Chains A and B, each alone.
Chain A
Amino acid sequence: MHIPDNFLSTPVWASLDAISIPAVGLMIKRAGRDLPDTRIPLLGVMGAFVFAAQMINFPVGAGTSGHLVGGALLACALGPAPAVLVMTTILVIQAFVFQDGGVLALGANVFNMAVAGVLAGYWPFQLWGAARRNSAIFAGGFLSVLVSGSLALAELLISGVRMPRLLVFTSLGLFAVNAAIEGAITISVVQALDRLNPGFVQKPGRSNSRVLIVLSTAGVLLGIAGFLLASSAPDAIQSLGQTLGMSARTNFQTPMANYSAGNFESAWLRRAIAGLTGLLLICGLCLAGARFVGRRRSA
């Protein structure tokens, strides 16, 4: 599910980068509030644990095996905000060291897998984890994989990657199967963890905050919307991308002869400048917000 560079059109990856940066910033602030400094090495080492845990194969049946993805497990064990950060760090290391997922597409991957995926994985645990823990943990694993997969697919479709209907259905079906496997793995690992030390997995609803509930509900809804849109009408989501000007398809489809170079360049420049201005604006806003918060806190 790691999207490499040049699969997404420029408006899509630029806007997802612009969304992910403040989202991760927010999570850093929350994690800083919830966590004592002693847990910084813990978060890094847990990232290494997720890498390593993916080497352990799970027999799923019919001779196939799956492996843990880890978003929901981390969210239940460490809390949502630290889990988002651990997944973000994993994605950064994967993009740079292993060339798994693009650098420009890092924002998209962080959004799909670290932010939306982890928050969606924590959502059931937060809502009904106290009453029906097992079903909540299964639903968390299920949702985390389903949401990140369908978001990635929706982003590819919006970017104008053409996929036949059958392929869209097949990949959505595969996501659902993988999601169920992740749910099953998460729940059996959590049960094993409980036998080792019941303190590893958080009590549900401990970090009850309205912001998190709103964000994770938004993540779940967004993922499900992507799933439904992509499954009901792959063409509709592509034309949506085209009307929003997010699809790169229109540029590439027309033969080169029809292009006056000046026209293309100015459109490219305009788009690049608009994107850069947006990024700068958001960076400025974040910096100003951080300074404001810092001043209020020290006052």
Chain B
Amino acid sequence: MHHVLVDQWSQGSSPLHARDPRAKVLVLLIFLVALATASPNAFPTLIIYAALLASGILIAGLPLGGLLLRSMGILPFSLTFGLITWLAGDRWRALGLVEKSYLSTVAVLLLVGTTPLPRLLGGLEALGTPRLLVLMAQFLYRYLFVISEQAQHMRLAAACRGGASGTRRHAKFRAAAAGAIAVLFARSYYRAEGVHRALMSRAFSGRFALLNPLRFGWMDACFAAGVGALLVLARVQ
């Protein structure tokens, strides 16, 4: 699955993986804002940004082709809108939609490809995201695969019993699908209760500890300041 691959990427060890997530999030935000406000015909800026992203991917040791390919997920959407805008006679904007949304996607993928999600969420919390949201996101990500797998099993079971084939008796299949979702709901609900009891019995303090705590060192400050300045310079040149 897609996210499992990104999870594998994020386990690597490169200078970019080693940077503090806060520094990377700051750089990403600077990048996205600078890109969003750049005009679509400012080709020098866009080329510098693309080169920076490519060198980031290479430094991080991520597969360049795989990452670029994965970012193409945005294209069906942006190409459709780009085509509409192009036909409406707004060519620069059409071009901007496609190229800029693609670059943004690559940048976000580079961030999650070099930062394991628990560390990323820890960084977001340190930057001021409310603890409740961060905690919910942790639980969500942790149980996403468990419950998706349960849903897959239920779908397979329904298909084995003839629940998925044939489209004649809609009402019956609708009732079956509704029942499946309700059962999934109940299972998730009771699983959450179990999770809570297990956490309590292990004296859960209300936050997940990271194996190596976040440390914003000199290297991180230099990275954020250097790359941030480069991005701004490339934008206003």
Contact = CB atoms under 8 A, between A and B. Distances in A.
Partners in one complex: yes
Interface stretch (A132-140, A184-192, A204-212): A184-192
Contact of A252 (B90, B117, B132, B192): B90
A46 interface: yes
A188 B170 CA distance: 13
A48 interface: yes
B189 to A, nearest CB: 7
Q: In the complex, which of the residues B87, B144, B206 has the most CB atoms of chain A within 10 Å of its own CB atom? A: B144
Contacts of A99: 70-71, 73-74, 105, 108-109
A162 B94 CA distance: 10
Contact of B174 (A4, A37, A188, A283): A188
B40 A252 contact: yes
Nearest to A4: B101
Given A48-B144, A196-B182, A249 B90 contact: yes
Contact of A197 (B41, B104, B138, B186): B186
**Is the interface on chain B under 10, 10 to 19, 20 to 34, or 35 or more residues?**
35 or more
Nearest to B42: A256
A4 B139 contact: no
A197 B183 CA distance: 10
Interface stretch (A85-93, A123-131, A144-152, A218-226): A85-93
B161 interface: no
Interface in A1-20: 4-7, 10, 13
Size band of the A side of the interface? 35 or more
A4 B151 contact: no
Nearest to B168: A59
Interface of B: 2-3, 6, 28-29, 32-33, 35-37, 39-41, 70-71, 73-74, 77-78, 81, 84-85, 87-90, 92-93, 96-97, 100-101, 104-105, 108-109, 111-112, 117, 120, 128, 130, 132-133, 135-144, 146-148, 150-152, 154-155, 164, 167, 170, 173-175, 177-186, 188-189, 191-193, 195-196, 199, 206, 236
A169 interface: no
Contacts of A264: 39
Contacts of B85: 161-162
B137 A5 contact: no
A5 B78 CA distance: 10
Given A7-B97, A44-B138, 18 more contacts: A5-B36, A7-B101, A25-B130, A40-B196, A42-B196, A45-B189, A48-B147, A56-B180, A58-B178, A96-B120, A97-B117, A103-B104, A161-B93, A162-B88, A184-B174, A195-B182, A252-B93, A268-B37
A29 to B, nearest CB: 9
B155 A44 contact: no
A253 B40 CA distance: 11
B120 A192 contact: no
Given A56-B180, A264-B39, A44 B140 contact: yes
Contact of B32 (A46, A104, A164): A104
A271 B2 CA distance: 38
A281 interface: no
A230 interface: no
Given A51-B148, A56-B154, A59-B174, A10 B3 contact: no
B108 A103 contact: yes
A68 B78 CA distance: 24
A68 B180 CA distance: 12
Contacts of B77: 4
A196 B147 contact: no
Nearest to A160: B93
A53 B136 contact: no
Nearest to A162: B88
A103 B101 CA distance: 11
Given A6-B104, A104-B36, A163-B88, A52 B133 contact: no
A270 B230 CA distance: 20
A294 interface: no
A68 to B, nearest CB: 6
Contacts of B193: 42
A229 interface: no
Nearest to B144: A48
A123 to B, nearest CB: 22
A265 B3 contact: no
B39 A86 contact: no
Contacts of A299: none
Contacts of A40: 132, 135-136, 139, 196
